[in-house]
Chain A
């Protein structure tokens, strides 16, 4: 099935809030920007019932180019990880229907 993108989310906002398409679009961009700025400051973003974005520092490690089999050192880096909330996990794995 089709991928949900920004434009699909904007459609839903227009439908649900009565805001204009322009306002909805600005809102989505601002929503994204706030989350990015927070993560840039290394602060986690935690949305109850949805999940949590966190910043993790990864140390250098050895790796291999899968094409050439050449050994390389993967530099240390800062990455964003997401963990699903338990509520959403249960909803998506259909546990709710079983209980």
Chain B
């Protein structure tokens, strides 16, 4: 499923104008991105959470040329699925 299919499905289920559904989906995603940029954690009950993880700088290599490159430290979101999501996906597990 891609973003436009998700918007279409949301619009159908909520009987909402597609433009409104699109703006809703964009707002949900943008608010999460904004929080990530501010290094804030995102936690959505029953779905999952994004925790900001720090990665140390390291010397990497360009896999094609073998050239050494300095990779800077960075902070990226790590997704951890919530309990309801885990249970529903892992049926019989």
Contact = CB atoms under 8 A, between A and B. Distances in A.
Contact of A43 (B1, B21, B86): B1
Nearest to A78: B90
A68 to B, nearest CB: 23
A81 interface: yes
A89 B85 contact: no
Nearest to A42: B89
A17 B20 contact: yes
Interface residues of A, number: 53
Contact of A45 (B6, B21, B31): B6
Contacts of B42: 3-5
Interface string B24-55: 11011111110111111111111110000000
B64 interface: no
8 contacts: A3-B41, A6-B45, A34-B6, A40-B91, A43-B1, A45-B2, A46-B1, A50-B32
